[in-house]
């Protein structure tokens, strides 16, 4: 687990092992441990960073050897950014939550948030390749803001919703339109609806990252500008303030009968501009970049599935 600073990425577990701050080792093991620590974990981590910086322990590798300190800082090029949460218990995605997207799909807004699910097999990190599967020829992108749950809760009220948010990430809801709406849809589907599992939850269908940004850094997630680029060309450009259902409404709806656990992921919807409406689906070597201001950007190159 690392902490991103202006000077580099701190190896938090290593830094915690040489610190005297009470409880720092227990929250530095992984992100679930950190999130479970709540505001106290953030406070202790800030104290740790200040302590190490004041002691001059953020030195170069050569200086570290002279001072007998381990190397605590790494550059972005020295690390692989894995998904901030690698094994969430649940991943929820809200459908049609931007007016611009509703317009392009020619639909009316639902009376309440409408969710489908992805699974842990979907997760890949920023800069990881995303395979175009043998099972689909119509692979699409959807840039989204992701919410990470930081506190266990059930029957959460809108008023208290933000106290259950552990942080925010950038996400790409990779979709498979020919599986989501197969050739026999809708004539044979009756009232069953779209095939959300095959259309949304294949392997490598959820690039997420590049980091988890804690709520003390983003007090209010509205507005945040969201931009998706395909090979450098802007395809989606909107603001989170456009969402039909905001985060408090989503958490209230989801937690009504479902216990939200630390590390659960909630995708909050995508604006207009997905590939299916330009009939220009993703192909090998395409690069998809999703950026949300104050969080960062994820970039993934499309490859051909080899297995």
Q: What is the pLDDT of residues 94-137, one digit of tens each?
A: 999 999 999 998 888 899 999 999 999 999 999 999 999 999 99
User: Does residue 246 lie in a domain region?
Assistant: yes
10-49 confidence digits (pLDDT tens):
888 888 777 778 878 778 778 998 999 999 999 988 888 8
Query: Residue 31 pairs with which residues in a beta bridge?
Result: none
Position 25 scores a pLDDT of: 78
Task: Say if strands 139-140 and 175-176 run parallel, antiparallel, or are unpaired.
Answer: antiparallel
User: Does residue 83 lie in a domain region?
Assistant: no
Structure tokens that stand for 199 in this block: 């259309």
Residue 66 pLDDT grade (very low, low, confident, very high; cuts 50, 70, 90):
very low
Same domain for 242 and 129, yes or no, is yes
Same domain for 63 and 113, yes or no, is no
- pTM more than 0.95: no
SS3 286: coil
Ramachandran angles phi, psi of 119, nearest 5°: -135, 170
pLDDT at 206 over 80: yes
Structure tokens that stand for 9 in this block: 């990425």
Q: Residue 23 sits in which domain range?
A: 2-78
Q: Which of 32, 51, 78 marks a domain boundary? A: 78
Q: Considering the chain, what is the average pLDDT of its residues?
A: 90
Tell me, rounded to whole angstroms, the distance of Cα 268 from its chain centroid: 10
Position 30 scores a pLDDT of: 84
Asked whether the beta carbons of 209 and 170 are under 8 A apart, the reply is: yes
Asked whether the beta carbons of 129 and 207 are under 8 A apart, the reply is: no
Same domain for 158 and 121, yes or no, is yes
Same domain for 71 and 198, yes or no, is no
Greatest mean pLDDT among 3-17, 25-39, 62-76, 243-257 lies in 243-257
Position 108 scores a pLDDT of: 87
Q: What percent of the chain has pLDDT over 70?
A: 92
């Amino acid at each position: 687990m690392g902490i991103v600073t202006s000077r580099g990425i701190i190896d938090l577990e290593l830094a915690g092992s040489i610190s005297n701050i009470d409880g720092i080792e227990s929250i530095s093991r992984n992100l679930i441990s950190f999130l479970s620590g709540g505001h106290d974990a953030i406070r202790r981590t800030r104290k740790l960073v200040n302590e190490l910086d004041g002691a001059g322990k953020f030195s170069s590798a050569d200086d570290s050897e002279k001072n007998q300190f381990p190397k605590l800082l790494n550059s972005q090029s020295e690390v692989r950014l894995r998904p901030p949460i690698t094994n969430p218990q649940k991943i929820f995605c809200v459908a049609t939550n931007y007016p611009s997207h509703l317009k392009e799909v020619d639909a009316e807004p639902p009376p309440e948030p409408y969710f489908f699910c992805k699974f842990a097999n979907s997760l890949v990190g920023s800069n990881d390749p995303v395979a175009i599967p043998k099972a689909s020829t119509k692979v699409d992108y959807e840039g989204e803001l992701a919410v990470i749950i930081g506190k266990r809760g059930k029957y959460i009220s809108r008023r208290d919703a933000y106290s259950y948010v552990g942080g925010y990430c950038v996400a790409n809801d990779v979709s498979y339109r020919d599986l989501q709406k197969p050739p026999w849809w809708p004539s044979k589907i009756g009232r069953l609806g779209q095939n959300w599992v095959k259309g949304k939850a294949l392997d490598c269908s959820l690039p997420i990252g590049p980091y988890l940004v804690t709520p003390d850094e983003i007090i209010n997630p509205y507005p945040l500008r969201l931009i998706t680029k395909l090979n450098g060309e802007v395809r989606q450009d909107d603001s989170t303030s456009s969402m039909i259902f905001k985060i408090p409404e989503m958490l209230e709806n989801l937690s009504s009968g479902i216990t939200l656990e630390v590390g659960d992921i909630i995708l909050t919807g995508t604006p207009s501009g997905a590939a299916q409406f330009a009939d220009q689906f993703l192909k090998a070597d395409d690069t998809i970049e999703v950026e949300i201001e104050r969080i960062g950007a994820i970039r993934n190159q499309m490859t051909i599935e080899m297995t």
